[in-house]
Amino acid sequence: MEGMIKVTYTVLCENDVSMEVSMEKLLANEKVLKAIKSEFAKGLRHIALSSKESASIFIKTEKVYHEFMAGKNDFADLLELAEEDARKHKRLKKGCDGIELIDIETIPDNS
């Protein structure tokens, strides 16, 4: 019996975002300062905000991971098989037509 591979992938979209913003830059934004003061220092005066060294936040599109099983002999075609799986489950839409393989895991044969 042929061994199996569990493949995990995600769909890539044109408007996906992945960026790092330093706390220094974030705290330089007046709207952000106002929102933080309003939420955490309401009614207080003479409040200054600062951050430690090179702290930053990451802004990323939250991705959904999908899985399917394939035979070990299909290893060379995994990207194509992932695209087929995404089409079959109607995961590819306008602006979201790319596939990124996330993980490939060999499933032990329990014969």
What is the per-residue pLDDT for 82? 96
Least Cα distance to 93 among 12, 22, 26, 17 occurs for: 12
Distances (CA, A) of 68 to 11, 65, 72: 14, 10, 13
Total domains in the chain come to: 2
Q: pLDDT-derived band of residue 83, with 50, 70 and 90 as boundaries?
A: very high
Span between the terminal Cα atoms of the chain, in Å:
8
Give me the amino acid identity at 104. Answer: I
Segment (H or E) for 8 = strand 4-12
Query: Do residues 53 and 91 both lie within one domain?
Result: no
Residue 1 pLDDT > 70: no
Query: Do residues 70 and 41 both lie within one domain?
Result: no
What is the per-residue pLDDT for 47? 87
Q: In which residue are the tokens 């409040």 written?
A: 47
Domain range for 82 is: 1-16+61-111
37-65 pLDDT per residue, tens? 999 998 888 888 888 777 889 999 999 99
